[in-house]
Structure 1
Amino acid sequence: MTMRPPLFAAAVLATLFAWAPAHAAVPVLAVPVLAVPVLAVPVHIDATGLTFDSAASGRAETLISDINGVATFALPNAADQLAFGSVSYGFLHQTYAGLFQLNTRAGYKITGYSLSGEFGGTRTVQAVPDGLTGTVGTAATRAALSIGAHLPDGSGLPTRSHSLADLNGSDGFTLSSGPLDHTGALALELDGYTYGFGTPSTWKDGNWSSTAPSTADVWLKDSLRLTVYTTAVPEPHSYALMLAGLALVGGLARRRNKA
C-alpha cells in the first residue's frame, strides 16, 4: 500500500520555506489560505539551537526536553489520526500526514534527527468448532510510517520508513537521519497509515447457523517523539583565536624540545 501526502502538502511546504530566512528565528506562522480539511492553529516552539513550526496541528506539539544540544518534541496528532476501533467485518483505513519546519539559530547547525514511536496491534479469529462444517474467518492488519526532509532548494534527504503486518503485541521503532551538517531551514514531512480487514467465521450445527466475528486492530501508541541534535558553530573570530592558541602551544612545545 502506497502512502501519499495530501494535495496541500507541497503548497504548505513552499509557504513554510518562504517565511523562513536562513539563520533566523521563524515567526509564528499564520494559517495558509488553503482548502485544508483540518482547521487548526499552527504551533511555534523556541529551542536553544533551533525553532520548530508546524503547518497545522489538531493537538499542539510540545517541547519535552532541550538539554545539551538535544531537543525532543512530542507529536500527538499521528496517534489521534491512525487509531481505529476493531474491524470485525469489512475494513478500515486511516492516514496521517504532518509537515514541520526546523530552522537553526545563528551560530548553530543540525547534526541529525530521529523519529521514534510504537505500534500496537491485535488479531483474533474464531475457530470453527470440531466436527462442524464452516468457514474460518480472516483478520489482517498493516501499518507504516515514514519521515523525509526537504531543503529550500528543492532537494531532499533520504526518506526513512518502518512498516509492519499482522501485529499481535507491540512494535517499537526509531527512524534516524544519520549524520548531518546543516544550517538554515529544514522541512520534515511525515506520512503514515493503518489498515485493518476482517471477515467472520461461520458454521452450521444441524439446522442452526452461527457466526463469530474476527477482530483486527492496529494503532500508534502515544505521541511520536522527534529528537533533533544541534551543535554550536564557532564564529570566524573564534576560529582565529583557536588557530592562534594552537600556534602558541606548538611554539611552547618546540621550545621544550630544544631545552
Structure 2
Amino acid sequence: MKDFVIPLVLAVIGFAATGLGAVVGARSTKFGAEKSAEAVRRQVQDQGAVEHAHWLRQQRFTTYESFLEAWDECLRITQASADSDAPDSTGLDELRLAADRMAERARRIAILGPPDVTHAAESLAETMQEDVKVAARFIEVTQAAVAEVDGRPVSADAVSEQTAEYQHRIQQVAELVTSHRSQGGDPRELDGHPMLRAAMESMERYRQASREVREALSTNLERLSAAASEAFSMGDVLTRNKEARELSRERFTNAAREALSRASMPDLRSDRE
C-alpha cells in the first residue's frame, strides 16, 4: 500500500505543479500582452498629441500671420490718407474693409487661442474699427461744414463795387458844396439836391453790402470753428487709439511667440497611476 501511495502523491504533486506552471505562464503572458497594449496605446496617444500640436501650431501661425497682414494693410491705408491733402471717402472704404478683415481674423484667433493672444488681437481690431468710425465722422463733419460755407458765399466784389460808388458819390457832393460856396451860396440851400439823394442811397447800399458780408463771415467762422473743435476731439481719440495699438501689438507679438512655442512642444505625459 505504501508503495502505491507514494507514487500517487508524487503524481498529484507533479500534476499540480504542471497546472500551477500553466496558470503562472498564462498570467505572465496576459500581463505581457497588457503591457504591450498599454505601450501601444501610449505611443498612439503621444503620436496623436504630437500631430495635433503640429496642426494647432500651423493653424495658429497661419491665422496670426494673416491677422498681422490685415493690420499692416490698415497702417498702409491710414498713412496714405494722412499724406493726402483732403479726406478721401475711397480710402475710408478701403480702411473699413481692412478693419473688417482684422475683426474676422481676430474671431478666428479666439477659436484657436490662447486667451492672451485673443485679447491682444481683439484690442487691436476694436481700436482700428473705432478709427474707421471716427474717420467717417470726420469726413461727414468736414463736408457738411464746407457745404454750409459754400452756401453762404462772401461777395468781396460786391462790397468793393459799393465802396467805390460810395466814395465817388461823396467826392461829387464835396465838389458840389465847394462850387456852391465859391458862388456865395449857403450849403443848406443844397438840401434835396439829386446828387445828395444819390449819395445817401449809395451809402445805404454800401452799409447793406458790408452788413451782409460781416454776417456771412461771422456765420461761416462759427461753423468752421465748431467743425475744427470736433475735429480736434476726434484727433485726440485717434491719438489714444494709436498709442493703445502700439501696446496691443507688442502684447500680441509676444503672446503669439509664446503660444507657438508652447504648441510646438506638446505635453506627452499620460496618467500612469
TM-score (norm 2): 0.22
TM-score (norm 1): 0.23
Higher radius of gyration, 1 or 2: 2
Please state which structure has a larger fraction of its residues in strand.
1
Please state which structure has a larger fraction of its residues in helix.
2
